[in-house]
Structure 1
Amino acid sequence: MKKAILLINCLFLGFVAQAQDSTSATPGKFTFSGYMDTYYFGNFNNPKSQSNLGLNGSGVGNARAFDQKAGQFGIGLIQAKAVYSASKVDAVMDLTFGTFADLGNYGNNVGLLGTPGSTALAIKQAYIVFKATDKLSFTAGQFGTHIGYEVIDAPINYNYSLSNLFNNGPFYHIGLKAQYAFSDKASLMLGLVNNVDNLVDNNKKKGLIGQFFFSPVAGWSVYLNGIISNEASKDITNTNGTVAVSADDAMYQLFDLTTTYQITSKFFLGLNAAAGSQKGDYQGVGGPVTSKSWGGVAGYANYAFTDKFGLGVRYETFDNKNGARALTDAAGNGASVNSITVTGNITAADGHVLLKPELRIDSYSANKFEKNDGSLSKSQATLGMAAIFKF
């Protein structure tokens, strides 16, 4: 705790010093952008639930992150993003609305006042960047996670449906971080945040985040990411009053490699690999405290045939057989999954509209998906189209 307080104070002093020095800065520039998306995906299993999520031990599963509807039209996310940028400071106010916005605020369906539908769910990002020098900057507020290859924003991802690595988080952080650029080819970020995917801190401990970026050659970027956080909310006691699970026995850690290589102006490769673990009482109150792990690898290849049409393929394997995360089979047991996704990218309306036809096949290690006749299957295939408007 003392080390965390010391680091917070050091970062805060950097904030204060920069804020005092920014009064003479020249006026900045204001920009406004955003997007909206809608989609339709048919499911070849023709599930009665009209869902792509599959089943878990207690009902609906989470085989897909956002594109959850099958055989029906859906609205994804509406974004309104305002950015003010000056020589010494940036401010980002990124608001989102819709089903995907609520899903992106995982674990926060109840607002700070304890009532559903809080306006806190509309905040995707809200942060301030103080530029202490040309190389050193400080960021405070709520910001998207540095972990992983894919992001929530549909126009940025090549594939429309999101990977299992993305689906298992984290999505965002609230806290304070510092970034130092050694050069245009290498930088380091360190910060302190509240618990993983949580608007409010559920204990007195802070998570540590970090990222090291380097670019070995032109067009090749490498990101080494990590987060370590104690996710316990309190001690769990047995009926006799003894501690069954200590608040110190819920350590979450995730380490991630993300790398991209623009081989030619038309051909692009990407890779995301992650390994995580978390300690916990997986048997209920009084059960043994164990550490369970999960991990996965996703490879990406995109090719632009013209400036208006491209094709991308993603292959992913994700292992949760230990049951550490929520991705399970229909019986509720931990499972592994292999997924392949083929996505077209069609640019129209002077670049304002993106059309993404997509075929995806998910294959689990055990039965996961329902069919129209009530039987179960290890796999499902979906085919559909997403339409995205951006400005």
Structure 2
Amino acid sequence: MLKFTFANIRLFLVFSLIALLNIDLQAQEESKSPFIISGTVDAYFRTNFNGINKTVYDDNGDPLEPAAAPVTSFANDPGFAIGMANVILGYEGDKVGFVADLVVGPRGEDAVFLSTGSPAIVNQLYVYYNLSDKVRLTFGNFNTFLGYEVISPAANFNYSTSYMFSYGPFSHTGLKADFTIDENWSAMLAVMNPTDYTEFNPIGKYTFGGQLGYANDAGSAYLNLIYGEQSLSDDALFQVDLTTGWNLSDAFYLGFNGTYQTTDGEGFAGAAIYPQLSTSDSFAIGLRAEYFNELADGGPAYGADTNTTAITLTGSYTYGNLIIKPELRLDSVDGAKPFMDSDLMMQDNLSSFLVAAIYSF
């Protein structure tokens, strides 16, 4: 029986508005309206080859963790599972505009994990003002500018996500200024709440961000950094990140992400390459080869002074607005045994398979 709670009513109103706006979407496209509606829906099936495929409980009835998946963000549930429904409403004026990016589902909840309660469905919510053709101010909640990967499953080549993405920031709330230096070079400066505090600032401290970018027809490179205290302690987080990708030919693309994050000696360093080969207009195959080192004073995934190698091979077949992604992944940890096999014994590696379906509109 459907329970009419405040959260359900709010979701109903949001998606009713989306449906009403979508009725005239084709007419908007024909008239080149500044109003934009877009989004994605995704689901997947996941299984382990050498690990358990169910939740295991202890004698008190509490789930044991970690057990059946890499401790990275998204795509970690066994069997048939859902990702998220994502709807982006926007207005692109000559001077001003806004983005309201709404999500529901497990992937969406993980993406806004510091928001309060399951009714929180805001992934991004910001307004912008073009001071000139070279300066844009953005105010509100926006996804992070660090890293190679993003929250949207349609914008990543691999469906599962990397360790660097999972333990870097997801989103920021604050004010940023984007500068166009010339036709190739750009820069950005930002002042923001502590990382991932998206609704408000609970501690009265702020984080500063910066970016220097270069782009041409063949690809781009971005050097990013953030610095600031993330809690009531006096220890500041520092992260520097390089993201780059280039089309080396019409069919071959090579991306790279390297990052280093520390807070008083605790944190991680990592690097990953992303080679991708297009075999036709509808099919491509890509690899993510990642090395993730957790610092000796403490790490976020498997513990201090551990090293993880994660190899992910993904196929991507496109049919219209639908993308099918089969994926093989092998995670191997040096210094810990975080995974559980079918005999409930701990082991240092896990091989898994998933296939995802993503629809974009």
Give the whole-Å Cα distance in 1 for the aligned partners of 2:33 and 2:127: 14
Give the whole-Å Cα distance in 2 for the aligned partners of 1:69 and 1:322: 30
Preserved contact between residue 47 and residue 53 of structure 2 (Cα < 8 Å): no
Preserved contact between residue 55 and residue 64 of structure 2 (Cα < 8 Å): no
Mapped pair 1:372 → 2:331? no
Aligned AA for 2:43?
T
Counterpart residue number, 2:145: 146
1:372 positional shift: 1.2
Match of 2:106 among 92, 99, 106: 99
Counterpart residue number, 2:268: 294
Residues 215-248 of structure 1 deviation map (CA, whole Å, 9 limit, x = unaligned): 3x53131100010010122xxxxxxxxxxxxx32
Q: Which runs of 4+ in 1 moved over 6 A?
A: none
Preserved contact between residue 48 and residue 371 of structure 1 (Cα < 8 Å): no
1:266 positional shift: 1.4
TM-score of the pair, normalised by structure 1: 0.78
Give the whole-Å Cα distance in 1 for the aligned partners of 2:98 and 2:53: 46
Give the aligned CA root-mean-square deviation in angstroms: 1.8
Counterpart residue number, 2:75: 67
Aligned AA for 2:65?
V
Aligned AA for 1:384?
L
Aligned AA for 1:40?
F
Instruction: Please state whether the residue corresponding to 1:102 is helix, strand or coil.
Output: helix
Instruction: Please state whether the residue corresponding to 2:107 is helix, strand or coil.
Output: helix
1:87-126 to structure 2, matched below 5 A, reads 87-108=94-115, 111=116, 116-117=117-118, 119=119, 121-126=120-125
Instruction: Please state whether the residue corresponding to 1:166 is helix, strand or coil.
Output: helix
Counterpart residue number, 1:39: 44
Counterpart residue number, 2:209: 209
Residues 103-157 of structure 1 deviation map (CA, whole Å, 9 limit, x = unaligned): 111233xx2xxxx33x4x2000011110010001100000000000000100110
**Is there any run of 5+ residues in structure 2 with no aligned partner, and where?**
1-31, 57-62
1:323 positional shift: 5.3
Mapped pair 1:311 → 2:285? yes
Counterpart residue number, 2:258: 273
Give the whole-Å Cα distance in 2 for the aligned partners of 1:253 and 1:324: 15
Give the whole-Å Cα distance in 1 for the aligned partners of 2:40 and 2:310: 27
Give the whole-Å Cα distance in 2 for the aligned partners of 1:50 and 1:122: 27
1:295 positional shift: 0.6
Preserved contact between residue 243 and residue 258 of structure 2 (Cα < 8 Å): yes
Match of 1:253 among 238, 243, 259: 238
Counterpart residue number, 2:307: 336
Give the whole-Å Cα distance in 1 for the aligned partners of 2:294 and 2:145: 22
Counterpart residue number, 2:11: none
Preserved contact between residue 339 and residue 360 of structure 1 (Cα < 8 Å): yes
1:70-85 to structure 2, matched below 5 A, reads 70=78, 72-85=79-92
Match of 2:330 among 332, 352, 361: 361
Instruction: Please state whether the residue corresponding to 2:132 is helix, strand or coil.
Output: coil
1:322 positional shift: 2.4
Preserved contact between residue 31 and residue 83 of structure 1 (Cα < 8 Å): yes
Q: How many equivalent residue pairs?
A: 319
Instruction: Please state whether the residue corresponding to 1:156 is helix, strand or coil.
Output: coil
Counterpart residue number, 1:182: 181
**Is there any run of 5+ residues in structure 1 with no aligned partner, and where?**
1-26, 52-57, 234-246, 280-290
* % identity of equivalent residues: 30
Preserved contact between residue 129 and residue 139 of structure 1 (Cα < 8 Å): yes
Instruction: Please state whether the residue corresponding to 2:50 is helix, strand or coil.
Output: coil
Give the whole-Å Cα distance in 2 for the aligned partners of 1:203 and 1:159: 36
1:83 positional shift: 1.1
Give the whole-Å Cα distance in 1 for the aligned partners of 2:299 and 2:175: 27
Residues 326-379 of structure 1 deviation map (CA, whole Å, 9 limit, x = unaligned): 201xxx55522100010000011x2x1000000000000121100111111110
Give the whole-Å Cα distance in 2 for the aligned partners of 1:28 and 1:91: 14
Aligned AA for 1:210?
G
Give the whole-Å Cα distance in 1 for the aligned partners of 2:280 and 2:55: 36
Give the whole-Å Cα distance in 1 for the aligned partners of 2:113 and 2:349: 26
Residue 84 to residue 151, structure 1, CA distance change in 2 (3 Å): same
1:50 positional shift: 4.8
Instruction: Please state whether the residue corresponding to 2:159 is helix, strand or coil.
Output: coil
TM-score of the pair, normalised by structure 2: 0.85
224-233 vs 169-178, which moves further? 224-233
Q: Choose 1 or 2 for highest CA Rg.
A: 1
